[in-house]
Amino acid sequence: MSTAIASAGDAVNAHESSNYGRVFREFEKRHMDAVDRRTTVVILGDGRTNLQPSGADALARIRARARAVLWLCPESRASWGLGDSAMPEYASRVTDVLEVACARDLERAAQALVTRR
């Protein structure tokens, strides 16, 4: 088994609001050749678009190539879809969404990731 890690890198500017659509398209452009049925893609974020395009189409294409796409979201499901949250749209295009708001949640998510191997 091999492991590859790709980050959003320079697709994310720390001085700007997040733009998931841009990040998903950049990931698709730069890393899709490394994604196959052995790949688990893990996304960490709140799914708030800051009124930018969601990029759900690119996320769906990533999911189509990957073994799994898991989203670690710090917001509770009760807040999904409120304001600029695109989490309902994203959730329908990934394998699973795990709520991760604290260290204990992160530990549970890590255990879930390991058991999915």
- Categorize the per-residue pLDDT at 14 as very low, low, confident or very high, splitting at 50, 70 and 90: low
Q: How far apart are CA 98 and CA 94, in angstroms?
A: 11
Average pLDDT over residues 67-75: 95
| pLDDT at residue 6 greater than cutoff 60 | no
Q: How many CB atoms lie within 10 A of CB 40?
A: 15
Average pLDDT over residues 59-82: 96
- Categorize the per-residue pLDDT at 3 as very low, low, confident or very high, splitting at 50, 70 and 90: very low
pLDDT for 17 equals 78
Q: Domains of the chain, with CATH numbers? A: 16-115 (3.40.50.720)
Tokens of 92: 């329908």
- Backbone CA torsion sign across 1, 99, 72, 90: positive
Answer whether 67's CB lies under 8 Å from 38's CB: yes
Q: How buried is residue 81: exposed, middle or buried, by Cβ count under 10 Å (0-12/13-18/19+)?
A: middle
